Amino acid sequence: MAERRLQGLQRVLGVNALFATAYGNVGSSIYYALGLVAGLALGLTPLVFVITGIFFFCTAATYAEATSMFPEAGGSSSFARHAFNELVSFFAAWAQMLNYVITVAISAFFVPHYLGGLFWEPLRSAPGDVIFGAGVIVLLSLINVVGIKESAGLNIVLALVDFFTQLLMVVVGALLVFSPQTLADNISFGVAPTWTDFLLAIPLGMIAYTGIETISNMAEEAKDEAVTIPRAIARVRTAVYAIYFTLPAVALSALPVTLDPATGEHSTLLGVAEEDGGYAGDPILGVVKQLDLGFLQQPGELYVGLLAATILLIATNAGIIGVSRLVYSMGIHRQVP
């Protein structure tokens, strides 16, 4: 008699796998969000990340509690179903679908920008970046057909390497370029940035914290979900704060706000487009290029650029994992055609 195969999702993921997949999604956002936020918030960029971090704390706490109560794929759509009804759950599910499409697209789009900054300039502009990014999404979708356990195993190693590399950048940057005086000089309240730009930068900065939903959508694959999910979310929160509350200050010390006498406009190269000589497409690589690392400068740039591209691949992969589990849940509850 043929062996009966178990149907549905299997509980094979522990704390490390859940943490790595979610951190790959959340922690990678600094590689593009830093440039986006700095373009508007200028010298107040570190403050923006602290403010948005408060919202992230509340969101993460909500997901930790709700996912432990309802450990099923679907995330916020599942919470809405239990709290309200199927109609509210339907709209929550499709809103999350749009969120995943955006985060997957952004992560995949910035992979060629970091690689292009190291190897091939055409990857930093259209159509090279678009074609390469689309190829990344297709390739990772095919890899995930193999299975979540195999996919998550690679994430653990790469996520840990990325976290400790970012932490090392903070330490080295603090020793070489960090300057409280420069950070103070970067700020001209109401002028650089304007209050309008500062307020706009806050919702934009929330992009940096997207991805915690991934753990919730993988709840049906978590071992001992009442324990592993809260622990994984707590680890993600701690790791993200360690980087997001420190690295922007180092970045603004390395690439401070300057005034263009010709136009009277303030800017930092963190938020200036590549074609204008800035690092908006690869802000972390731009920071490394400002560090005086001596004989380690070129190897350091190569390492960080490759790691950034790799962790953005993880983020793209995490988004694909999340959306696949969301669609699985939507299919069970007849929320997709």
Q: How many CB atoms lie within 10 A of CB 317?
A: 28
The whole-model pTM stands at 0.84
Residue 306 structural domain: 15-256+266-332
pLDDT: which is higher, 146 or 31: 31
pLDDT per residue as tens digits for the range 74-106 = 778 888 898 898 899 999 889 888 888 888 898
**pLDDT (0 to 100) of residue 180:** 94
CA distance 198 to 189: 10
Residue 182 lies in a domain: yes
Q: Which helix (H) or strand (E) holds 151?
A: helix 148-176
Of 60, 67, 132, nearest to 316 by C-alpha is 132
CA distance 137 to 90: 26
Residue 10 lies in a domain: no
Handedness of CA 225, 227, 232, 234 (dihedral sign): positive
Q: How many domains does the chain have?
A: 1
Are 299 and 87 a contacting pair, CB within 8 Å? no
Confidence of residue 4 (pLDDT cuts 50, 70, 90): very low
**pLDDT (0 to 100) of residue 1:** 44
Lookup: tokens for 112 = 């060629």
CA distance 252 to 46: 8
Residue 152 lies in a domain: yes
Residue 52 lies in a domain: yes
User: In this structure, what are the phi and psi dihedrals at residue 260, rounded to the nearest 5 degrees?
Assistant: -85, 110
pLDDT per residue as tens digits for the range 43-85 = 999 999 999 999 999 999 988 888 888 887 777 888 889 889 8
Low-confidence winner among 47-51, 118-122, 136-140, 201-205 (lowest mean pLDDT):
118-122
pLDDT per residue as tens digits for the range 9-42 = 567 678 888 888 788 778 888 888 999 999 999 9
Residue 7 lies in a domain: no
CATH number at 200 reads 1.20.1740.10
Residue 9 lies in a domain: no
**pLDDT (0 to 100) of residue 54:** 94
